């Protein structure tokens, strides 16, 4: 019999209707009462970590979740974290970096409709997450709508539909259907050893590039942030004519500020060596992100800056694949 710990954090799955709108209130024991069948093959315990709408999730809360897993790690075979969907992708990525070397599953799930509603996706998602938490596998995963996604690859792309999450630039790990798990490719974790490193630096800013952006914005950002993620156009690159952003990027990297280049395109990632505008940017010590998604980049940059202030070391950490976040070509 597998021993599973449910960690609840709030979110839609645990929400009830109130005068001002949906608000998370249900505990794990209350959530389990809605499941149609007893989980006789599992010994389930639960703990409330927090009870918030995921819009209010902060990086400090990631640390609380990771700490809850770490402190209970030797007492359970798997973990399920119930979470709101809006920031679930950020949390799953953050936990992937703070809890490296897992040889047990840490499974995040949530729902688009509260479990207390007559028609919902919460019952299926929670049941599937509990089932996958019994697997002999290590890592952080998102289980949603019958699909298992690597924790660093999950992105919410739909606001209402049950199939809210997609695995971006990475195949699904597995599928869960009526209690049966079918793997696409089971990750290798046999030689891993758990390393818990929750130190984060939250001085990170995400900038979405648009035509006409003023270069002076970088002067302000350099006073408040140690890392700036630029969601550029297409395959990457920065404007270097007219309103010249590249010159400002050069100034900031010389000050030791980490400049990360990604793309606004959801799939296939960046390639700064394809076009002239990209190659000129790549001549500076900017950080290249390949096919990583923004949620993972944010969490990884906070984690990397938590380890070191040295730009060359941050660049090395960011460009090294961790927890399946980056495809090696």
pLDDT at 138 over 70: yes
Radius of gyration of the chain (CA): 20
Under the banding of pLDDT at 50, 70 and 90, the label for residue 19 is confident
Under the banding of pLDDT at 50, 70 and 90, the label for residue 18 is confident
Output the CA angle 216-252-235, nearest 5 degrees: 85
Q: Of 131-145, 236-250, 305-319, which range is least confident? A: 236-250
Mean pLDDT of 275-280: 83
Q: Is 152 exposed, middle or buried (0-12, 13-18, 19+ CB in 10 A)?
A: buried
Identify the pLDDT of residue 119.
Answer: 94
Identify the pLDDT of residue 22.
Answer: 87
For the chain, the distance separating the N- and C-terminal CA atoms, rounded to the nearest angstrom, is 41
Output the CA angle 232-160-33, nearest 5 degrees: 130
Kindly report, residue by residue over 195-221, the tens digit of the pLDDT.
999 999 999 999 999 999 999 999 999
Identify the pLDDT of residue 226.
Answer: 97
- Whether 204-319 and 2-196 are alike in CATH topology: the answer is yes
Mean pLDDT of 170-183: 95
Mean pLDDT of 299-315: 97
CATH topology of domain 2-196: Rossmann fold (3.40.50)
pLDDT at 185 over 90: no
Contact 291, 268 (CB under 8 A): yes
The CATH code of the domain at 204-319 is: 3.40.50.40
Mean pLDDT of 167-187: 92
Kindly report, residue by residue over 38-49, the tens digit of the pLDDT.
666 789 999 999
Name the residue with tokens 């648009």: 210
Identify the pLDDT of residue 70.
Answer: 97
Rounded CA-CA distance 187/193 in Å is 15
Share of the chain above pLDDT 90, in %: 81
Q: Provide, for the chain, the percentages of residues in helix, strand and coil under a 3-state DSSP scheme, each rounded to the nearest 5.
A: 30, 25, 45
Mean pLDDT (the chain, rounded): 93
pLDDT at 223 over 90: yes
Identify the pLDDT of residue 38.
Answer: 60
Q: Which residues are catalytic?
A: 12
Domain boundaries, the chain: 2-196, 204-319
Rounded CA-CA distance 88/133 in Å is 17
Under the banding of pLDDT at 50, 70 and 90, the label for residue 191 is low
Identify the pLDDT of residue 190.
Answer: 63
Identify the pLDDT of residue 239.
Answer: 87
Mean pLDDT of 265-288: 89
The set of residues, in sequence order, having a beta carbon less than 8 Å from that of 237 and lying 6+ positions away, is 272, 275, 276, 277, 278, 280, 281
Contact 83, 11 (CB under 8 A): yes
Identify the pLDDT of residue 272.
Answer: 87
Kindly report, residue by residue over 73-110, the tens digit of the pLDDT.
999 999 999 999 999 999 999 999 999 999 999 999 99
pLDDT at 17 over 90: no
Kindly report, residue by residue over 54-68, the tens digit of the pLDDT.
999 999 999 999 999
């Amino acid at each position: 019999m597998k021993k599973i710990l449910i960690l609840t954090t709030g979110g839609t799955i645990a929400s009830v209707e109130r005068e001002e709108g949906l608000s998370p209130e249900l505990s794990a024991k209350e959530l389990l009462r809605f499941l149609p069948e007893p989980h006789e093959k599992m010994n389930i315990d639960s703990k409330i970590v927090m009870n918030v709408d995921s819009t209010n999730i902060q990086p400090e809360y990631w640390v609380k979740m990771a700490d809850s897993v770490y402190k209970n790690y030797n007492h359970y075979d798997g973990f399920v974290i119930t979470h709101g969907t809006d920031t679930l992708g950020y949390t799953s990525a953050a936990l992937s970096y703070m809890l490296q070397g897992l040889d047990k599953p840490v499974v995040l799930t949530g729902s688009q409709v509260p479990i207390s509603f007559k028609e919902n996706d919460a019952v299926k998602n929670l049941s599937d997450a509990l089932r996958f938490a019994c697997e002999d596998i290590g890592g952080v995963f998102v289980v949603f709508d019958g699909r298992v996604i690597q924790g660093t690859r999950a992105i919410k792309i739909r606001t209402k539909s049950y199939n809210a999450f997609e695995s971006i630039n990475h195949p699904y790990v597995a599928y869960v259907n009526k209690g049966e798990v079918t793997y696409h490719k089971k990750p290798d974790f046999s030689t891993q050893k758990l390393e818990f490193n929750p130190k984060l630096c939250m001085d990170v800013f995400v900038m979405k590039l648009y035509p006409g952006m003023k270069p002076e914005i970088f002067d302000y950002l350099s006073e408040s942030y140690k890392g700036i993620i630029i969601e550029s156009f297409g395959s990457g690159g920065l404007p270097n004519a007219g309103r010249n952003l590249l010159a400002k990027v050069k100034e900031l990297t010389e000050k030791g500020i980490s400049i990360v280049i990604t793309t606004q395109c959801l799939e296939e990632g960046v390639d700064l060596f394809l076009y002239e505008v990209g190659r000129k940017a790549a001549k500076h010590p900017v950080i290249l992100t390949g096919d990583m998604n923004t949620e993972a980049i944010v969490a990884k940059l906070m984690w990397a800056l938590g380890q070191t202030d040295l730009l060359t070391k941050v660049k090395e950490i960011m460009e090294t694949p961790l927890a399946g976040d980056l495809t090696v070509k």
